[in-house]
């Protein structure tokens, strides 16, 4: 869940809705739940994914909880390191540490990180500092371009002074980074450092395929196996009893998926990043309509149709190990539609799709 909601909805309502959706996913047997972070958009109104996920710990049983993502340039790395370590203990090790450099333009302005290269350097420095904090005991004297982590003068072991929290998982929770652009340089960095990657839901198939190509080549260059187990692909998925019903739930005027892609198209156009989601990189901005993006990025149909489409999609983009379904707004009829779609996905689609993937791997 990014999540994306209409701007007029109250934060109270959307918090409650996404909590209900998360608990339902756990009940259905979904393996993972990821929550995004945005500070300055009422359409994406969740500034603290860790706070939201912490409330779910006692309300869920098995589902892993991940941040997708904590935008590191917006935070002091010592705060992220301490809070993430605490969350890992609170969740009993159910934590997946998703990080990124950010993607929301008003957040760039809010935190003065409009400059893309600077933002990327802050991201890389921050994750390096966080991992160093987790890997050592005091004294700390870590100097970067943007931050200095220092505890040297007040270290009193008998009082516990100077020690930073360490995660429950050793050496640390699995690190994942979000990927949005074709031929992503971040995918190359992730491969070289042993991190997982999460391909975004608005990336067309050709772009997603390029992300795996970059990642797998960088893994081989680093002398590591390129495993699809480290690759998560997110998609808007609409499953309904029939193909016709699924199409109505995608393209109808009350569709939350239509709202989602209209919002994403306009947001990326304003941010001058529309090229990231064009189904055909040669098309003009005018040709890149919400409907065109939806045709490319939404997998929809009856359970049988969705299984076939997922098999074809995986053959086209590469051997992703985890499929993430994007959660959409539940206004109007969308709650009933998505509840049914989540159930059909969990009970009818994924068992058959997973069986196909296992059989293919055995061959």
346 belongs to a structural domain? no
Classify residue 92: in a domain, yes or no: yes
Contact 23, 63 (CB under 8 A): no
CA-based nearest residue to 133, from 189, 92, 160, 172: 172
Residue 229 pLDDT = 96
Integer Rg of the chain from CA: 21
Q: Is residue 109 part of a domain?
A: yes
The pLDDT tens digits of the residues spanning 15-59 come to 999 999 999 999 999 999 999 999 999 999 899 999 999 999 999
Q: Which of 127, 81, 66 is nearest to 101 (CA)?
A: 127
With a cut of 70, list the residues of the chain below it in pLDDT: none
Domain residue limits at 58:
1-173
Q: Quote the number of domains for the chain.
A: 1
pLDDT at position 271 is 84
- Tell me, yes or no, whether 29 lies in a domain: yes
Residues sharing a CB contact under 8 Å with residue 40, sequence separation 6 or more, in sequence order: 104, 106, 107, 109, 110
pLDDT at 130: 98
- Is 363 within the bounds of a domain? no
Given a contact cutoff of 8 angstroms between Cβ atoms, the answer to whether 274 and 313 are in contact is: no
The C-alpha atoms of residue 35 and residue 352 are separated, in whole angstroms, by 27
Residue 355: exposure state from Cβ atoms within 10 A (0-12, 13-18, ≥19):
exposed
Question: Considering the domain boundaries, does residue 98 fall inside one?
Answer: yes
- Per-residue pLDDT, 244: 98
For residue 282, what are its two tokens? 């040669």
The CATH number given to whatever domain includes residue 29 is 3.20.20.30
Residue 127 covered by a domain:
yes
Residue 193 counted as domain residue: no
Position 363 scores a pLDDT of 85
């Amino acid at each position: 869940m990014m999540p994306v909601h209409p701007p007029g909805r109250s934060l109270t309502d959307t918090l409650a809705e996404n909590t209900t959706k998360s608990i339902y996913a756990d009940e259905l047997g979904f393996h993972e739940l990821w929550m995004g972070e945005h500070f300055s958009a009422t359409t994406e109104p969740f500034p603290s994914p860790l706070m939201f996920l912490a409330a779910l710990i006692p309300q869920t049983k098995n589902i892993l909880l991940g941040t997708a993502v904590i935008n590191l340039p917006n935070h002091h790395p010592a705060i992220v390191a301490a809070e993430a370590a605490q969350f890992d203990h609170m969740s009993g090790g159910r934590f997946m540490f998703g990080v990124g450099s950010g993607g929301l333009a008003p957040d760039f302005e809010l935190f003065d990180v409009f400059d893309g290269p600077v933002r990327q350097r802050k991201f890389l420095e921050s994750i390096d500092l966080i991992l160093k904090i987790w890997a050592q005991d005091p004294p700390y004297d870590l100097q970067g371009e943007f931050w200095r982590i220092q505890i040297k003068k007040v270290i009193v072991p008998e009082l516990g002074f100077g020690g930073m929290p360490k995660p429950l998982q050793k050496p640390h929770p699995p690190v994942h980074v979000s990927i949005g652009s074709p031929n992503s340089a971040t995918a190359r960095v992730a491969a070289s450092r042993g991190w997982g990657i999460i391909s975004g839901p608005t990336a067309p198939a050709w772009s997603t395929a390029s992300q795996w190509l970059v990642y797998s080549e960088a893994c081989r260059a680093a002398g590591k196996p390129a495993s699809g187990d480290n690759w998560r692909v997110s998609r808007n998925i609409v499953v309904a009893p029939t193909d016709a019903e699924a199409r109505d739930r995608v393209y109808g005027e009350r569709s939350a998926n239509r709202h989602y892609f209209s919002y994403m198209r306009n947001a990326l156009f304003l941010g001058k990043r529309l090229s990231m989601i064009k189904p055909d990189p040669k098309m003009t901005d005018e040709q890149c309509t919400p409907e065109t993006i939806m045709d490319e990025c939404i997998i929809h149909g009856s359970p049988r149709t969705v299984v076939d489409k997922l098999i074809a999609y995986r053959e086209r983009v590469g051997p992703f190990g985890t499929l993430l379904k994007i959660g959409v707004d539940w206004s109007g009829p969308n709650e009933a539609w998505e509840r049914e779609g989540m159930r059909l996905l969990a009970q009818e689609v994924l068992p058959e799709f997973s069986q196909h993937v296992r059989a293919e791997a055995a061959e």
